[in-house]
Structure 1
Amino acid sequence: MPYWSKAMSYGHNFRTQTKTMSDYSITLKPVYSRTVPIPIGINLPDEWSLSWHQSETFNALSDPQIDVVFNTAMTGDGKSLAAYLQSMTGKTYTLAMYPTNELARDQERQVQDYKGKFQPKYDPQIFRLTGATLEDFVETNQLSSKQQGIVNLTDNSEILLTNPDIFHYIHQFRYLRSDSNNTRWGDNADKVFRKVDDLYKLFVFDEFHVFSSPQIASVFNAMLLMKHTGYKGKFLFLSATPSELLQGFLSRSGFKHREINPVTEGAYCFTQADEKCWRQISQPIALVFPNDLQPNARSGYDWIVENAESIILKFFLDYPDSKGAIILNSIAAVYKLLGKLQPLFKQHNLTVLPNTSLTGESERARSIIDADLLIGTSTIDVGVDFKINFLVFEASSAANFIQRFGRLGRHQGFPIYRAYALIPNFLISRLFEDKNEKAASLADGDEYDRVFFNNAIRDSWLFVNQFEGYSKRWGSVQSFYVWNELRKKQMQAAYPDAAKNFETDIFNALQVSVRSRYGEINRCLEAKQHKIIDEARSFRGSSQLDCAIYDTTNSNEPERDRFKTYNLPGLLSNFIFEVMDNDEFRLKAEKAGISFTRRYKDALCCLQLRDYREMRENWHFYHAGNVSELARIGKVQILRGLEVTTGENAISNALCQRGIVCYISDRRRDELRAKLGLPMQFQAYGLSDRPDDRDPPYTIAFGQSALLLETLTWHWKPKEDEGWIC
């Protein structure tokens, strides 16, 4: 019996044995990717072949008529090789950007493996650059600044793996030397970005679909700056769901782009195929939808606890040498489950390890390799390639569902592949039950190909707002600063037409005049609201509510890895902690070799993490002033005097003294989420002028979320139907 048929028979067994009467289950067919003859000029390692999309991406990046390439191949189909093929077979210096440090670390291993197999003659040096590694590099080499660190690293790294945050700040002129007392002294605006852009001929953005409008606007502004200052290289976006918003901006500003789409070109099939022309990229998968999960934050956690032994552990006992992952939305749920699953699995010599933003560097690296069962959050759902045949996952959107489900079935060698999708029962109903004369997308027990299934997930999911208006309202603040730098004498001498052409392209793409932003930005600065401008110029938003953490929950964690940061709302809801004196925290950090000033100088307060709450704490933000008047302002503002209704007084005292960039709405949080389709992780919280209020009538959003919310609600009238204050 063929390998894939054997797995199918296991899938049938599974449906009859491990699902309840109320659950639904389907089988996903295997996926095969079409291979093609090797293009002229490419030498592959022995027994290697290229998929259609890899060959087409190579050709598109070699085409002088194309500026930007979008590769939309399925997860597991080798988009990484498509990105690095030119650097492995030629001499294309490449800067690749990844949304998470975990993915960058995973890809560093992958690229080193490519280098070992391809043996490129020019021996490219590979370096992974993050904010932390840059600081360490500067300190270790006793350099004068981060600017010098970036210059040194680019001089010595033919392949640089980093994050789009650093790319953004380079092209927003953040690594320049200046003197506020002498405006004539300082670096030219192009000192750093010109160095980087001249060296790297290919800029790669991986998993870019995880980003929202602020990041899309940021990358577009940077690309436009590069276009008008002489960049001659290429841009490659790797994403199963490319951004229509970005593609629209590119088209309207003169970028020539091409989409490489294997689905529309018939480059996938879903039945056993000729191995000479087709390569299997995904195994058949048995997928179960438990149908009794209520739409609340705890239901997935409760299901896992209830089925820890009867379903999860049983799978590992039935199929020895299996590897699995649980991917959840809540970081607190991960650590609470860890305490329940580790002792259960340890009885059978099986290892359960965490991988979250709170997991230390050493344990995070170990977890990918050593865990029989890995429990994590978004740190592992974005592109990380680990070999598993069992998956339990929550999802916050259709794209998130497809992304997480895509972690499974990528590697051969297991007898069975099984997944449990922990999504609310009303979504299950949309998928499996007829509604208003519309036939159900899926039927219990049936078999589907991956393309049909992904479309069914997208069609059945709730609307999630894409914040299309952000780029015009706030993304244009970044545009103004780029244009303003291009207007300066030194820049005009080097790039005579850049300011004018940049201004024209911004107007065509965003439908906004950068000149019109001057007055608004100036008024904001004169009113000492520069924090709002800083927020608009950031990439992912500032960390206004981040706290310095000393984590004592894991006794095996190295001392250096115990020092972390985490946001205050998440801490208040899910963790047990106590306030630490700043000096005590600083001494501990410096003893562990960590600079407090460099890493924690902007922290709201210092906390020692003790444990995780079994039940979420019910709390809200509180302000003693007239919140109704604050809500009627209808704009992003800087607010002082904010407190919280739980935790120690020291936390509220620290919060009260800080000016926070926020937006206040006179609608309740649940109403806003439902009406506006706000993403699950959107930073919006209940607000009241009474500390004992059980149902806060106002909503407050912070930082970048405040800017996003304002773009959706600025035109609303207050509920009292009073005149709108602009």
Structure 2
Amino acid sequence: MRSLLPLSGVELRRHKDPEYPVEDSKFEPYAHQQDIRELFQNSNEFLAVNDSPTGGGKTISWLAPVIECEDHALAVYPTNALIHDQYNQIREELDESFPKRGSDVAVLPITADMLRTRYATKYPDTRTNGERLRALLRTYVYQRGDPVLVLTNPDILVMMRRHIYGRTGNPGSRVRQLNEFETIVVDEFHRAGRKEQNTLLFSLDEMYDLPNFQCALSKIVLLSATPTTRLEHHFEEAMSAPYRRVTSKRETTEERSFNETPTDGWGAVMPPVDLDVRSAATFDTASELLGEDWDDTESFARKAGRTVFILDGIHEVDEVYTHLSNTFDGRTVVRIDGFHRGNLEEKLDDFDILVSNSAVEVGIDFTVDRLVFSAPDRASFVQRLGRLRTKSEPQSARCYASTNVAASLSEIECDGRVSREQLIETLEDAYHDPREFESFDWRYSAAEAYHHIERRARDANSERAEEIREKGWERILRHFGGGDPPLTQSDVKAHADVINNAVERTLQWYRGGSLQALVYDRTPGTSDPIKTYDLFYLLRHGHVEFFSRTGFDEVVPNEHTDDVSHLAPYVTGYCTYDGTIETNDDGYGRSVRLKATSETYGWLRADDGIDDETRKPRELDGIGIDVEPDGADRITSIEHLRDEMREGLDVLCYAVKNHPRRVKNQYNLGKFLFLYPLTVGDEQWCAALGIDALYLHCAVQEAQNAVDLESLGIDL
């Protein structure tokens, strides 16, 4: 299926504002930038959502008033790559836009890797990341009088708030400096899943509600796409801070479409785009690009200027990059992905053709003339299309989406160009998010919050503990208790009991746990040879060899010993990586199958007649695994991984009796909720692991509840 969708550009009105704090007389802010500054000037407390378009200056919208107010601020970004990119951008903005005030601002990028390396050198007497983080913030928050701007990821923020960096029962080991930040900014908030959004909002609301002498947070800024109805209700009803969507009053007067050139006094933030929409299955765009569409692909990439390909899987990146490199001898073809991030600035400066995946979806600023992208979900569609920005003349793009999405886009009626608002409305109806289960809130986010509150209470004296529990329960009801019948503490405890220690080891983290391998990347030119990566991707597509921990230490060069020691406690296996394997004629790599252990048998066969609806998620100590070559290279060293997975695994699991494909179709789960075949004797089952286990359980339960209501004659 193929259709051409001409999209309009987007322009924002500029305003002459000599009072705006950017130290450039020619700077004319947009309305959303003025609105955020007005909130900082006139409101002591707020939760603001800025959903202005990509490329519309969201960074300046919060940075300018933070500099003007001389606040301590913490900015949260979804990826470490974006932290590094924004650090460079913010330092440049401070030098160019705030030359007088900016020099006084300390900008601290903080990731786990930086705590382990750069800041370990700065504070040699510290032993853990928590100690280094406390020492770093103590230096810049308590021992300097100037404003501090911390750039970090949501995991570190949640770990600081939940005292995971400290020791239970030892309040002195907590990162208390977090309480000194008046402003917290969350970038790309819409990219978070339901679990992540719930975790972050609950933590921010808790911090905001503390007395000022305990926590200074009073201003929360979310940089996001337009909030859904659910999120708008959450902001208004669950969060204590007064909610303000800063763009709501200017949608027709301050932002509008343009077809050819922007209007005088307006700034183009998104160009008109001639969008060629085609259909392809998720993780199968490379087959279309290099197969039936190859002549179009080659012609598209040969045009003058820079062409970017954004795909879903690393194996797709590898296929397309290799093919284009062999085809275009006279042009610079580069790749950027989880295994190829070295020489990033050089690649972005020099490329003619860039092949990547989600690694360049957000942040990482670069210019592009033409774009080819896959769109597995609505957020990726909008985000990847948004890489075409700021130019006023029409640009070309080609999108590969599912057949249903492509069909929906082909049905848009237009006389001239289609507005971005109309595109987004169509995408909202066309895409289905397999992780948007309402029951997740009261089943599992409430249990996660309850565990956190109990941990806080255990660390407090008896009087303070009672207050923590009382206020904590009120907050749980605001955030997660809106159902009928009302949520009770017995309900929350019951669901916490379902997953037992997983709340402690998995769910309390921002993203939750997943199975990772510790990788020694031996591909040429790699800049960070020791890393962790998704275990199942490596099993399906990696040219890998597994080792015992002792054998891995013998293979890895001595200069990486500290990196291995630091990461080893968080992984399931150890392997070398030498690139990706060749896929078979159908585009598949190896086939991965889980095998039941005695523990699994005991769980699944515990009672006669147990079914999918009554079975509950469970944390398994171990699980078996088989990997079939399926036309690809055999992993002869798989026994080393089996040893690691046999016991002490502690993985959250939920199993359903049937083939993964049939279960996905039955519950409309999509391809990004991963199910693995599970062999139980001679029966075919499937299993979801980690947070996906909880989402699958919600899908089964909601489907069963819908059936029960229908049987009672209730119209759904």
- How far residue 623 of structure 1 moved from its aligned partner, in angstroms, is 1.8
- How far residue 99 of structure 1 moved from its aligned partner, in angstroms, is 0.4
Name the aligned partner's letter for residue 164 of structure 1.
P
The answer on 1:468 being equivalent to 2:438 is yes
Partner of 1:96: 75
Partner of 2:387: 407
Partner of 1:505: 475
Question: CA offsets, 1:632-688, max 9 Å, x none?
Answer: 461111233422243423333332233422011124323333343435322322222
Measured in 1, the distance between the counterparts of 2:80 and 2:272 equals 30
Measured in 2, the distance between the counterparts of 1:507 and 1:111 equals 39
Measured in 2, the distance between the counterparts of 1:211 and 1:422 equals 23
Matches within 5 A, 1:24-39: 24-38=3-17
Structure 1 range deviating more: 706-715 or 28-37: 706-715
Partner of 1:153: 136
Q: Could you tell me the TM-score, scaled by structure 1's length? A: 0.83
Partner of 2:631: none
Matches within 5 A, 1:573-652: 573-587=540-554, 588-592=556-560, 594-610=562-578, 611-615=580-584, 616=588, 617-623=590-596, 626=601, 629=605, 632=611, 634-639=615-620, 640-646=622-628, 647=635, 648-652=638-642
Question: CA offsets, 1:92-133, max 9 Å, x none?
Answer: 222101101111122111101110111142610112111111
- How far residue 135 of structure 1 moved from its aligned partner, in angstroms, is 1.4
CA 1:495–1:85: 2 relative to 1, 3 Å? farther
Q: Partner of 2:591: helix, strand, or coil?
A: coil
Structure 1 range deviating more: 76-85 or 119-128: 119-128
Q: RMSD of the alignment, in Å?
A: 3.1
- How far residue 396 of structure 1 moved from its aligned partner, in angstroms, is 1.1
Measured in 1, the distance between the counterparts of 2:497 and 2:297 equals 59
Q: Partner of 1:76: helix, strand, or coil?
A: coil
The answer on 1:477 being equivalent to 2:447 is yes
Partner of 2:171: 187
Measured in 2, the distance between the counterparts of 1:85 and 1:355 equals 32
CA 1:636–1:328: 2 relative to 1, 3 Å? same
2:530 is aligned, of 524, 543, 563, to 563
Name the aligned partner's letter for residue 652 of structure 2.
V
Partner of 1:363: 343
The answer on 1:680 being equivalent to 2:671 is yes
Percent of counterpart pairs with the same letter? 18
Q: Could you tell me the TM-score, scaled by structure 2's length? A: 0.84
Structure 2 unaligned regions, length at least 5: 142-147, 629-634, 709-716
- How far residue 628 of structure 1 moved from its aligned partner, in angstroms, is 5.2
The answer on 1:430 being equivalent to 2:417 is no
Question: CA offsets, 1:259-280, max 9 Å, x none?
Answer: 1226634322223677553111
- How far residue 389 of structure 1 moved from its aligned partner, in angstroms, is 1.2
Q: Partner of 2:104: helix, strand, or coil?
A: coil
1:530 is aligned, of 501, 507, 514, to 501
Q: Partner of 1:454: helix, strand, or coil?
A: helix
Measured in 2, the distance between the counterparts of 1:521 and 1:431 equals 41
Matches within 5 A, 1:288-307: 288-290=276-278, 293-295=279-281, 297-298=283-284, 300-306=285-291
8 Å CA contact 1:285–1:409 kept in 2: the answer is no
Q: Partner of 1:421: helix, strand, or coil?
A: strand
- How far residue 393 of structure 1 moved from its aligned partner, in angstroms, is 0.5
Partner of 2:295: 310
8 Å CA contact 2:539–2:627 kept in 1: the answer is no
Structure 1 unaligned regions, length at least 5: 1-21, 433-439, 722-726
- How far residue 492 of structure 1 moved from its aligned partner, in angstroms, is 7.2
Measured in 2, the distance between the counterparts of 1:524 and 1:366 equals 50
8 Å CA contact 1:355–1:376 kept in 2: the answer is yes
Partner of 1:8: none
Q: Partner of 2:67: helix, strand, or coil?
A: helix
CA 1:676–1:366: 2 relative to 1, 3 Å? farther
- How far residue 459 of structure 1 moved from its aligned partner, in angstroms, is 2.7
8 Å CA contact 2:282–2:401 kept in 1: the answer is no
The answer on 1:217 being equivalent to 2:198 is yes
Measured in 1, the distance between the counterparts of 2:135 and 2:662 equals 51
Measured in 2, the distance between the counterparts of 1:134 and 1:354 equals 28
CA 1:712–1:425: 2 relative to 1, 3 Å? closer
CA 1:590–1:518: 2 relative to 1, 3 Å? farther
- How far residue 597 of structure 1 moved from its aligned partner, in angstroms, is 1.7
2:104 is aligned, of 111, 117, 123, to 123
- How far residue 172 of structure 1 moved from its aligned partner, in angstroms, is 1.1
8 Å CA contact 1:465–1:676 kept in 2: the answer is no
Name the aligned partner's letter for residue 281 of structure 2.
P
**Number of residue pairs the alignment of both structures matches:** 660
Partner of 1:441: 412
Name the aligned partner's letter for residue 502 of structure 2.
K
Name the aligned partner's letter for residue 153 of structure 2.
N
Measured in 2, the distance between the counterparts of 1:329 and 1:274 equals 33
Q: Partner of 2:475: helix, strand, or coil?
A: helix
